[in-house]
Structure 1
Amino acid sequence: MYKNSGGRPGAVLAAAAVAQFVVALDMSVVNVALPAIRTALGFAPLDLSWVVHGYALTFGGFLLLGGRACDLYGRRRMFVLGLAAFGLCSLAGGLAQEPWHLIAARAGQGLGAAAAAPAALAMLTTTFAEGPPRVRALGVWSAVNAAGGALGVLAGGLLTEYAGWRWVMLINLPIVAVALAPALAGVPAEASPARREGLDLPGAVLATGGVGLLVLGVVRTDTLGWGSPVTWATLAAAAVLLAGFVLAETRVTAPLLRLGLLRSRWVAGANVLVFLAAAGQFTAFYFVSLYMQQVLGMGAAATGAAFLPFSLGLVAGTVVATRLTASRTPRTSLVPGALLAAAGLTWFALISPDGSFLADVLGPSLVTSVGAGLVLAPVAAAATTGVTPREAGMASGLMNSSRQLGGCIGLAALATIAAHRTGTAAGPASLNDGYALGLAVAAAVFVFAAVVAFGVLPRRRAITSAPHPTAPAQNRLEGTPS
């Protein structure tokens, strides 16, 4: 049942799940606190966004490197080091006295998360065998991941209103301690390999620089716009570095990302799918939160509480998905889940400036969240199907990168579409029209995700894992035939 008998599977699952919860929480917990942070630390209006962007930039930019480091230096070691760095930077952010202190702390949190997140997923995939054991473990991991993102809005609102903005950073400390305890007590350190491969430094520089510039160019479109020469120059530089990365990976014996991994229909299809699902889900969080605050006039705490049904729906969806796919292919849940999420977002697109939480938010929240939950657990299982333990960190870093990039790029693109519809008007009716259009496009993104799940993912689960390549002729992982 378990692949790693040296450790305690329950401890591995607890450590990985709690770590993923705090990483997901930190993606959204700060957003509601931004006005209070601006007042307390004296942020300039254009600098305030870097409290969010600093985390996204380092997290997204270093995920591939963090994933490969897990394979080379040990999953448990990178997990502990990443969480420790995340916790220390959370403390530094909670004690920040100047704007740059907080931005630096958020960037440090992103670095820690880029090591801990792929390590957590890799620990799961190397501990639990493919099939029902791994699906159940990834179901728990996905449920707490989803809950962390949704509850971050609630926690941010409540902490800001009743405890002060600093607690949106300090709340991470006890959660990190809870994650570290089972990791130190029940997760064994991996034995050193007989021949340790060297880190692909050229690939690391090119991938980190390319992904970092891509995230930077996208997240700054909120202030510079997509037509800015600076935006185009940044994205062009990112494209050059990423093209160089692809070329470099074909010429090294121990690449940061083995390109043959993408020949697997499971791995390639799941990464496209998670990119699209993250774009749709992040966008739904963003527009619905703005709709409740700027159109319905709800406060921060009330907006956070209104996301509770969304959180419950995500958890319910992952539970159902775990049962559906325990003995079936992940495709069984991914296609109907993406379509259900698309239906919920289409319902969301009918929001009204004269609406209410009960009439315009509650129903579509439940439908969308259950559909998204049906996608979250199976897509993680699909992205690691057929991957050898020696490349578990590589595959985990790739999937986390796809999700992070999907969220950043999707949100930036759809926010631009919504802003064009809104125009210069700032009234509730104009804002409502922009948000409704953004949600409608997000629904179309989930429909495309369903098409990818149906057309790319194999109909049958892979039975055996391809061996790690030892010669150029073996440098591939074949997909399972339909």
Structure 2
Amino acid sequence: MLALACAAQFMVVLDISVVNVALPSIQRALGTDEAGLQWVVNAYALAFAGFLLLGGRLADLFGRKRIFGIGLVVFSGASLVGGLASSASLVIVARAVQGLGAAVLAPATLTVLTATFAEGTARTRALATWTAVGIAGGTAGNLVGGVLTEYLTWRSILLINVPIGAAVIFLAARFLGEDDGRGQGRHLDVAGATLATAGLTLLTYGIAQARTHGWGGSVTIVALAAGAVAVVLFVVVEARFARAPLIPLRLFRSRALIAGNMALLLAGGCLNPMWFFLTLYMQKSLRYSPLQTGLGFLPHTLVAIVVGVRVTPWLMRHVEGRLVIVAGALIAAVGFWWQSRITADSGYLLGILGPAIVFSVGSGLLNTPITTTVTSGIDAADAGAASGLMNTTKQFGGALGLAVLVTVAGSDLDTPDALAADYGRAFLVIAGLLVAVAAVALTLPVTRDGERRRALND
């Protein structure tokens, strides 16, 4: 069960990052600027975020095995279409459908784990492995993307998902146990899913338009207002009309869930966009090839995996989980402050490796305790909904953060020095957001494994 869940999670996260190193090649081939290029990333992230709530509930209502398989088929089919696409618009649409498939698949992987492993040390170890595989998929995507783009074409970064997906589909059909699902009948909150997706997309689109039209521009204001209205209507539908709400409002009685998701929103706005700006910095300012860029990301993976798998679970047995999160966020903030001081003349050691070691230690420390906190104390019937909410928060944070940071960093200059300064501003904002993550983490309840049940009662 753990191997299957981790394999599927690896595939989903791989596709978040596999496009990063190929972004400059996609930009040249499809003829788009950086404001447009972000939608190759955000089309996936927003569809992923918007439909994760529905995807999480599907696993509860219709069974993990069935939904796991459907998610894999949709994801792999969209990868094939995107890899064969001949226009930027079709690539973006395919990426959105990939996000839909990932939204169905990702909560099922976490639901498999929470249904298989009881709360405590066993679940912490399983979640630490799941988190580490996600981190590995993120940076392996950069290396794989660099190799494929360098020696084949950017199209291969999407087509590679087809054989991987086929293998996981075969293994799931053979080894994943049958279950009929549970919950409040077989009702789907389609209205809620539509409003959630529309709200998140419009809010992100509005922020992205601020770069071109300004914060006072009519396009920006209308998009932000429409997004806010959609979010409010979503809450109303969930509270009053949905027969099987995507997010049962009773979940928000948990202080851990509220504060944990706020921390995830801010952390997602930092850690996910980081790949976008580091990729462009390495290839546009430092003039690295796609392969060199992919190799340049290896330290990020190795450090985060070692810390996430070996150090963090040990710390969580001896130190309050919220303190581990605070330490991780502050260490990562220092790393991104260092990263913000880059110039076009920064070498690899001071411009990439040094900051990478610092903020990767921080990210390795904070990911697992946040995940453990948000998913603890949730009834089995709501495990998919809680998982979907957690993943939605993180992915929406990433999409929103990227839109904000592209707006903050954007300029019309295209020299290596100007680009390095632009990206440095983005990294400085990320450092500030991570300080906010540390502040939010202090409001979390105690989550040391040995004290978890007492903390939940408190």
TM exceeds 0.5?
Answer: yes
In the superposition, relative to structure 1, how do residues 193 and 408 fare at CA in structure 2: closer, same or farther (>3 Å)?
closer
In the superposition, relative to structure 1, how do residues 75 and 224 fare at CA in structure 2: closer, same or farther (>3 Å)?
farther
In the superposition, relative to structure 1, how do residues 247 and 323 fare at CA in structure 2: closer, same or farther (>3 Å)?
same
Identify which range, 78-87 or 208-217, moves more after superposition.
208-217
Q: Secondary structure at the match of 2:22?
A: helix
Letter aligned with residue 276 of structure 2: Y
Q: Secondary structure at the match of 2:21?
A: helix
Q: Secondary structure at the match of 1:32?
A: coil
1:52 is aligned to: 41
**2:19 is matched with which residue: 23, 30, 47?**
30
Displacement of 1:217: 3.3
Q: How does 1:58-207 map to 2 (within 5 A)?
A: 58-193=47-182, 196-207=185-196
Displacement of 1:127: 0.9
1:365 is aligned to: 356
2:325 is aligned to: 334
Identify which range, 216-225 or 27-36, moves more after superposition.
216-225
Identify which range, 98-107 or 274-283, moves more after superposition.
98-107
**1:303 is matched with which residue: 290, 293, 297?**
293
Displacement of 1:98: 4.4
Q: C-alpha deviations, 1:125-157, integer Å up to 9, x for none?
A: 111111111111111111111121222222212
Preserved contact between residue 265 and residue 458 of structure 1 (Cα < 8 Å): no
In the superposition, relative to structure 1, how do residues 53 and 450 fare at CA in structure 2: closer, same or farther (>3 Å)?
closer
In the superposition, relative to structure 1, how do residues 55 and 220 fare at CA in structure 2: closer, same or farther (>3 Å)?
farther
Displacement of 1:338: 1.1
Q: Secondary structure at the match of 1:371?
A: helix
2:446 is aligned to: 458
Displacement of 1:306: 0.4
In the superposition, relative to structure 1, how do residues 304 and 459 fare at CA in structure 2: closer, same or farther (>3 Å)?
closer
The answer to whether the aligner puts 1:444 opposite 2:432 as a matched pair is: yes
In the superposition, relative to structure 1, how do residues 64 and 179 fare at CA in structure 2: closer, same or farther (>3 Å)?
same
Letter aligned with residue 318 of structure 1: G
**1:434 is matched with which residue: 422, 439, 454?**
422
Using structure 1 for the length normalisation, give the TM-score: 0.87
Displacement of 1:171: 1.1
In the superposition, relative to structure 1, how do residues 304 and 227 fare at CA in structure 2: closer, same or farther (>3 Å)?
farther
Displacement of 1:446: 1.0
In the superposition, relative to structure 1, how do residues 406 and 134 fare at CA in structure 2: closer, same or farther (>3 Å)?
same
Identify which range, 100-109 or 310-319, moves more after superposition.
100-109
Q: Secondary structure at the match of 2:67?
A: helix
Displacement of 1:357: 0.3
Q: Matches of 1:39 and 1:280 in 2, distance apart?
A: 27
Q: C-alpha deviations, 1:393-427, integer Å up to 9, x for none?
A: 100110111111111111221222223xxx54433
Q: Secondary structure at the match of 1:250?
A: helix
Q: Matches of 2:184 and 2:13 in 1, distance apart?
A: 35
Could you tell me which runs of 5 or more consecutive residues in structure 2 were left unpaired when the two chains were aligned: none
Q: Secondary structure at the match of 1:353?
A: coil
Displacement of 1:329: 4.4
Q: Secondary structure at the match of 1:387?
A: coil
Letter aligned with residue 405 of structure 1: F
Q: Matches of 1:170 and 1:179 in 2, distance apart?
A: 15
Q: Matches of 2:345 and 2:306 in 1, distance apart?
A: 30
Q: C-alpha deviations, 1:195-223, integer Å up to 9, x for none?
A: 62522343233223222333443455565
**2:376 is matched with which residue: 366, 372, 385?**
385
Runs of 4+ in 1 over 6 A off after TM superposition: none
Q: Matches of 2:5 and 2:292 in 1, distance apart?
A: 30
Displacement of 1:44: 5.9
**2:281 is matched with which residue: 291, 302, 305?**
291
Q: How does 1:468-479 map to 2 (within 5 A)?
A: none
Q: Matches of 2:270 and 2:36 in 1, distance apart?
A: 27
Q: Secondary structure at the match of 2:178?
A: coil
Preserved contact between residue 315 and residue 373 of structure 1 (Cα < 8 Å): yes
Q: Matches of 2:28 and 2:416 in 1, distance apart?
A: 25
Preserved contact between residue 283 and residue 442 of structure 1 (Cα < 8 Å): no
Identity of aligned residues (%): 44
Using structure 2 for the length normalisation, give the TM-score: 0.91
1:259 is aligned to: 249
Displacement of 1:263: 2.1
Letter aligned with residue 294 of structure 1: K
Letter aligned with residue 264 of structure 1: S
Q: Matches of 2:452 and 2:20 in 1, distance apart?
A: 43
Higher helix share: 2
Q: Secondary structure at the match of 1:458?
A: coil
CA RMSD of aligned residues (A): 2.5
Preserved contact between residue 196 and residue 230 of structure 2 (Cα < 8 Å): yes
In the superposition, relative to structure 1, how do residues 417 and 39 fare at CA in structure 2: closer, same or farther (>3 Å)?
closer
Preserved contact between residue 18 and residue 178 of structure 1 (Cα < 8 Å): no
Q: C-alpha deviations, 1:342-400, integer Å up to 9, x for none?
A: 11112212223321001221111011111101111221111101011100110011011
Q: Matches of 2:256 and 2:41 in 1, distance apart?
A: 32
Q: Secondary structure at the match of 2:263?
A: helix
Letter aligned with residue 277 of structure 2: F
Q: Matches of 1:155 and 1:223 in 2, distance apart?
A: 33
Displacement of 1:228: 3.4
Q: How does 1:266-285 map to 2 (within 5 A)?
A: 266-285=256-275
Q: Matches of 1:223 and 1:27 in 2, distance apart?
A: 26
Preserved contact between residue 64 and residue 181 of structure 2 (Cα < 8 Å): no
Q: Matches of 2:201 and 2:54 in 1, distance apart?
A: 12
2:302 is aligned to: 312
Q: Secondary structure at the match of 2:376?
A: coil
1:398 is aligned to: 389
Letter aligned with residue 275 of structure 1: L
2:224 is aligned to: 235
Q: Secondary structure at the match of 1:103?
A: helix
Q: C-alpha deviations, 1:16-44, integer Å up to 9, x for none?
A: 1111111111112123334444565x556
1:474 is aligned to: none
In the superposition, relative to structure 1, how do residues 322 and 227 fare at CA in structure 2: closer, same or farther (>3 Å)?
farther
Q: Matches of 2:214 and 2:148 in 1, distance apart?
A: 32
